[in-house]
Each structure stands twice: as structure tokens, then as C-alpha cells.
Structure 1
Amino acid sequence: MHLNCLLFIFSFIRLSGAQDVTTVRQISVQRGQSVVIPCLYNQKYTSSYKYLSAGYVWLLSDYVDFSDQRCHHKTVFVSDDTEGHIFTVRMDDVQESGSYWCAIHIPSAFDKRAGFFLDVTADSPRLHVTSQTVMGSENGSVTITCYHQGVQYGVKWCKFGGQCITGASGTLDGASVEIRHGLRNMTVSMSRLKKKNTGWYCCSTEDLQMPVHITVSQKKSRSAEGQQSPVTTATGQSSPRKRTAILFLLPVIFEILLLIVIYLALKLASICKTRFFPSVNEAEDGHYVTMHREQSSRSNGCSAAEEVYENMAGLKTNSEIPASGHKSISPAVVKKSDLPKAPVREPDYVNIMKT
């Protein structure tokens, strides 16, 4: 039961937001080459920040580059086309395969994202094109050749995030499409182009996609061939940071704050008790002083009894002196009322002398 719940939560976290962002599933690139990955998003996120993160698990992924330039990577650049509702990720000099995420930052909620896998090969990629940027003019035509490794009739030409042409011909957004399959390539011809045909398309198989951007201008000219890709570049060094799943850390943060509050409350209570209420130790100390004083008063009584004993002993000694040679001296009579008051219980050594 618990395992099923965990699987459900993991699936929800992994799939949540995927319907708001669309990108390729897997793309193959030769080591050291460059590639551009488009990420289509819902228009309601036009003003949100877009970014790329790296890692197989979304919650543990690292930030790589942001569209608002808060974080830069020296070989990765993120550019946002707010009019077309698509942001692109350009990766130069790729070296290693890995999982990546096209993501949109959503304050106080889960970010919207879509993952893709970058397959870096030492030899020719399994699916690739000569150039990812193609220029055309209105009422003109363009030709794109997709190279593959013998996957005949399994390669399709698609509008990115939209319709695909599965047969030898068809139409996409009003433009005529003709497809010719070769042994290791697929040639796509698009004619009767319109301005609205500007956008991202892709060669697609079951597991691989290769995006191609087509720009349709008002008239065809040689100068158009020198135009830059719609992907803007930026410079800067990277500073990858570990992603902090704040929402999942909130319970831990709350517990820490609760412990701090409890500690401070106990500390405050201890200070108030010490300052405004007598402590138990002080009461015990007062009781000890009282007993010590009573014991001291008894000791004083014993001292008085010793003085009486010494006086009586001195009298007895004088009475035993022989009368010859000395003048008889009558012992002084000591009245009981003249004796100092002694405690009710007389010391033991006085009783012994009396016996």
C-alpha cells in the first residue's frame, strides 16, 4: 500500500507540468558539435522565467542556464521567443550524454517542465540534419534532408508540437509537403510557403527527433542566408547550483522552527521562575539555617551547664581541703534560681558527675 502511494506521488511529480511544456524526447548529437532544442510552452507563461536543468531526477537536477541571465553557462544558452511561445536551448561543444529539463519557473508552486535525453555519439548521430536553420521566402520552397541509419519509412516530418506527415505528401499550415525516402535519408520539400509557416519542425522516429527551424521572409534574397539563427547567444561562466526542493523541505524547516520556539519558551520560563519565584534550593537553605541556629542555642545551654559544673566542682574541691594550716572557708551556697537556665535535657556528662 505504501509502495503504491510512493509510486503514485513520484509519477505525479514527474508528470506534473509536462502538458504545459513540449520538447523532444531524445536527440542524437556527435561529440563536439552543437545542437538547438526547442521547448514549446503555454502562452499563459509568457512572462515567466525559463531555464534548463540537468539530471535524471527532477528534484535533484542542477540549474544550467536561465533566460533572465541570472545563471550562465559557457556552452549553454537559453533564449525566449515570447511571440511564438517557445524558448530554445543551444548547447555547444557537447561532450557527454545526459538527461535535461526544459522548465518554467512558477513562484510558490511546482515548476512546469518537460524532460529530454541528449545522446552524444563518437560517430555520426543516428538522426541528424545538415543544418537546423533553413531560410525561405513567401510562395517559395525549402528542402530539408534528414539522415538516419537505415530506418526506412519510419521517419516522419512533423510540425513541432503539432501534426505529422506519415505518407509521401500532405499539407502543414497551408504549405505543400512532399517526402522522398532513401536508403539512409529522408528528403522533405515544402512549397507555397507563407509567413505563418515560420517555426519549428522536426524529423521524427519512435525514439529520436531532430528539430529544424524554418524562417519564411517576404522575398528571397542572398542576404537572408547570412541571417542569424533565431536563437540568441550570450556569454558568461556557469555556476551550477544544486536544486533545493523547497516545498519538500518545508516540513523540516517547520520542525526546526518549532524546536527553536520551544527552546526559547523554556528558557524564558526558567528566567522568569528564577527572577520572580523563590527556588526550592533557597527554601532548603533557609530551613538549614533555622536548624543550625536551634542547634547553636542548644550548644550555648551546654556551655552554661559546663560553667555550673565547674563552679560546683571547685566548691567541692575546696571543702575537701584539711582544716589544719588553713582557715576554714564555708562554701558558698548556690541557689537554683541563680543558675543559668539550661535546656530541659541536661548533657550526659553532667548526669554522670551527679551520680
Structure 2
Amino acid sequence: MAVHLSFLLILTGLTGSHGITTVSKVSVRAGGSITVPCLYESQYINHVKYLCKGSIWNFCSDAIKTNQHNTGKFSISDDKQRKIFTVTINDLTDKDTEYYWCAVEIKDGTDLKEYFHLSVTGGSPSLYVAQQEITGFKGDNINIKYHCQNSGERKWCRLGGSCVTRSGSIDGARVEISASNSGVLTVTLSGLRTESSGWYWCVKGDLQMPVHITVTEKPRTIAATSQITTLTPTSKPVNHTSSTAEQRLSTVEVEQQSVSVNLIVFIIPLGSLIFIVTVASFICLMFKRHKQTTGDSPATIMGKEEVTYSTVKQRRKTSGQLHRAEEEVTYSDVKQRKPTDKWTDANRDVDEMYSDVMYSSVVTID
């Protein structure tokens, strides 16, 4: 049926034009979504682009335009720098199996258009990939795994560029294509460059499946060794918009974790140093106080006391006083002056023992 319809389109001269390049046939599982890129020429940068649904161009209906708001079912975006507009169809059902047209409005002329056929199946698609949006790091490698059930030649092509059948290079990146007995087709891109960013598609027989690759600089927190990103196919394609958001969020989380680790590495030695300095200061202070307290003992304090001595002399009476047999003796008290140093209860006991000591000396004068 598709062959007869394509032949009819060729006969009517409505099979498209050379101003737009896109895929020719894609297969998607029901309930999923598909994004199709459409490459246009530079003179149409400021023109309105749109998606038209229907097998016959003259009777197709506009699904979405770049000058309209996106709907839940259809969305469109225009990358004027790369000259590619993309159309996305969500929540696919078997009713979405149809011919679609990537088109560019031409004022006062015939619009440019190029069609592709979308096949929606309830089982596993004949050719699909886990996700259409893939991110890699400059200089690294990535593996893109396709699940395929159809036969035919396999190729890896860049939108508007060259193709590789088994091995080769595209824009400086090395390309290797390998197939397994389980029906998995692996495309390996080595030595990614900034120029490697863009739209590609895998070809297997008459089917194509586009993917978008974004190459970024490697974050500082990631080791310099090459890392391989492996994409395992799932039963349902993922919307490339949500996949991009998840990948960007993952990059932010890695950077936040790196900042947290750097802070911890800085804080732990600083806390240890502060603790050691505090303990050392406390020990010095206690040692100084202990030395002041035990510096003056009672014996030392007694040694500092001042003692005054007085000499007592005996004088014999004169002739007029011979009758007084007793000698007159004069005594003087010896006063002990207390020191002004610090005094404790133990010192006071010693002071009380020696505070009333009296010394005297008696000398007889002939």
C-alpha cells in the first residue's frame, strides 16, 4: 500500500522538494513520542515552518506552525543557527500512522515540503532507540544502542551530511557500527568534538530513527579518563525534552556534591586546629595559676618576716645605792611585724605560734 501511495505521489509531482531534508520512514511504539528534524536552506531562516498531516499534499491539514503555540499533541521549534526545525508528536496511537509533511511557507509562491511516513505499532517497533536526546563529553566515547527487527543495509548518517556503513569518521569523530545476534545494533562514536553536536539517524533497511547528540566540555569533577555512555533500549521511546532536563539536573547535582565535598575537606582540618589551640591555651592557663598558688610556702613567708632585737644592759648601783641589793633589769618586747604577702589559713596557724616571741640579752657592766 505504501509503495503504491508513494508511486502516486511521484506521479502527481508532490513528493517534495530539494529545499528540505528529513527522514523518510520511522516506526514508533504506541503511547510513546517521536521527534523528527527537518533541515532547510539558509534563505528560509525567517520563514514560517509547519507540519502538515495527510497523504496528499493538497488535502493535508496543518498540525502545528512556528508562529503558533504548541499543543499537548504537537510541538515545533526552530533552530535558526543550525537551520533545523523539529516537530514532536506525543501520545501516539494507531490513528497517528500517517504521512506527514515538513513544510516552509513561501509568500507569493509554492511552499517547500518534504514528507515522511510514521508507523505506530502496538508491539515492538522494527527500529527504535531508548531515547532520542543524548549527551556526551568532549574527547569521550558514547555508545548508542538500537533495537532492530527488520533486515537490510545498516548505516549511520548525519542530517545533511555523510553516512558510514561499517566504520569511518564524521566531522572528526570515529564511527563504528556493530550488530549482535539479539538484534541490537550498536553505534560507537569515539573522540567526540564540539562539532559533533547535531542530528543523526540510524538506517536499517527502509527505516530510520533520528537522535540528537550534544557534546559539552567535561566537568572538573569527572576524571580525565575516557568514559563510555551506554544506552540500553527500552520498550518505549522517551520524550527528548524531559531527557534533556534530567541530564542537566544530573550535572547540577554532581557539581553540588563536589562543592559539598570540598567544603568538608576544608572544614575538618580547620576545626581540628581550633580544638588543639584551645586545649593548649587552657593547659597553659591552669599551669600558670597552679604555679602562682604554690609559689609561697609558710616557710618562705616566715623567712620574710622582720624580727627586731633589743639589748638589755645591767648597771650596778652607785655608792649611794648600795643598800639596794636587787639589780634593776629593763626588758623590752620584741614585736614581730606580719608580712603583707598573701596569707592562707595554714600560714595563720604558724603566725599564731610565733607572733608573741620575745628576745632579750642581759649584759652585766662592772
Measure how far apart 1:9 and its partner are: 11
1:174 partnered with 2:172: yes
- Structure 1 residues 55 and 182, CA, compared in 2 at 3 Å: closer, same or farther? same
Post-superposition Cα deviations, 1:133-178, rounded to whole Å, max 9, x if no partner, equal 1101111111101110153x722111123211112x2101100111
Task: Tell me which residue corresponds to 2:352.
Answer: none
Task: Tell me which residue corresponds to 2:154.
Answer: 155
Structure 1: distance between partners of 2:86 and 2:215: 18
Task: Tell me which residue corresponds to 2:232.
Answer: none
Local SS of the residue matching 2:55: coil
| Displaced runs of 4 or more, over 4 A | 7-13, 220-223
Q: Which runs of 5+ in 1 are unaligned?
A: 1-6, 231-355
Higher strand residue share: 2
Task: Tell me which residue corresponds to 1:203.
Answer: 202
- 8 Å CA contact 1:136, 1:220 repeated in 2: no
Structure 2: distance between partners of 1:55 and 1:9: 12
Structure 1: distance between partners of 2:8 and 2:30: 37
Structure 2: distance between partners of 1:229 and 1:90: 18
Local SS of the residue matching 1:110: coil
Post-superposition Cα deviations, 1:200-259, rounded to whole Å, max 9, x if no partner, equal 111112311000100001225899x974499xxxxxxxxxxxxxxxxxxxxxxxxxxxxx
- 8 Å CA contact 1:64, 1:73 repeated in 2: no
Structure 1: distance between partners of 2:246 and 2:46: 22
- 8 Å CA contact 2:165, 2:177 repeated in 1: no
Paired positions, count: 219
- 8 Å CA contact 1:133, 1:229 repeated in 2: no
Structure 2: distance between partners of 1:75 and 1:10: 30
Identity over aligned pairs, percent: 36
Local SS of the residue matching 2:109: coil
- RMSD, aligned α-carbons: 2.6
Q: 1:202-351 to 2 correspondence within 5 Å? A: 202-220=201-219, 227-228=244-245
Structure 2: distance between partners of 1:65 and 1:104: 12
Q: Structure 1-normalised TM-score?
A: 0.58
- 8 Å CA contact 2:155, 2:204 repeated in 1: yes
Q: Structure 2-normalised TM-score?
A: 0.56
Task: Tell me which residue corresponds to 1:145.
Answer: 145
Structure 1: distance between partners of 2:154 and 2:244: 29
- 8 Å CA contact 2:100, 2:118 repeated in 1: yes
Task: Tell me which residue corresponds to 1:100.
Answer: 100
Task: Tell me which residue corresponds to 1:43.
Answer: 42
- 8 Å CA contact 2:135, 2:215 repeated in 1: yes
- 8 Å CA contact 2:47, 2:106 repeated in 1: yes
Task: Tell me which residue corresponds to 1:256.
Answer: none
- Structure 1 residues 10 and 150, CA, compared in 2 at 3 Å: closer, same or farther? closer
- Structure 1 residues 8 and 52, CA, compared in 2 at 3 Å: closer, same or farther? closer
- 8 Å CA contact 1:29, 1:128 repeated in 2: yes
Local SS of the residue matching 2:18: helix
Local SS of the residue matching 1:196: helix
Measure how far apart 1:50 and its partner are: 0.5
- Structure 1 residues 221 and 141, CA, compared in 2 at 3 Å: closer, same or farther? farther
Task: Tell me which residue corresponds to 1:82.
Answer: 80
1:194 partnered with 2:193: yes
Q: 1:48-63 to 2 correspondence within 5 Å? A: 48-63=47-62
Post-superposition Cα deviations, 1:273-315, rounded to whole Å, max 9, x if no partner, equal xxxxxxxxxxxxxxxxxxxxxxxxxxxxxxxxxxxxxxxxxxx
Q: Which runs of 5+ in 2 are unaligned?
A: 1-6, 223-241, 248-366
Structure 2: distance between partners of 1:180 and 1:221: 32
Local SS of the residue matching 1:44: helix
- Structure 1 residues 221 and 133, CA, compared in 2 at 3 Å: closer, same or farther? farther
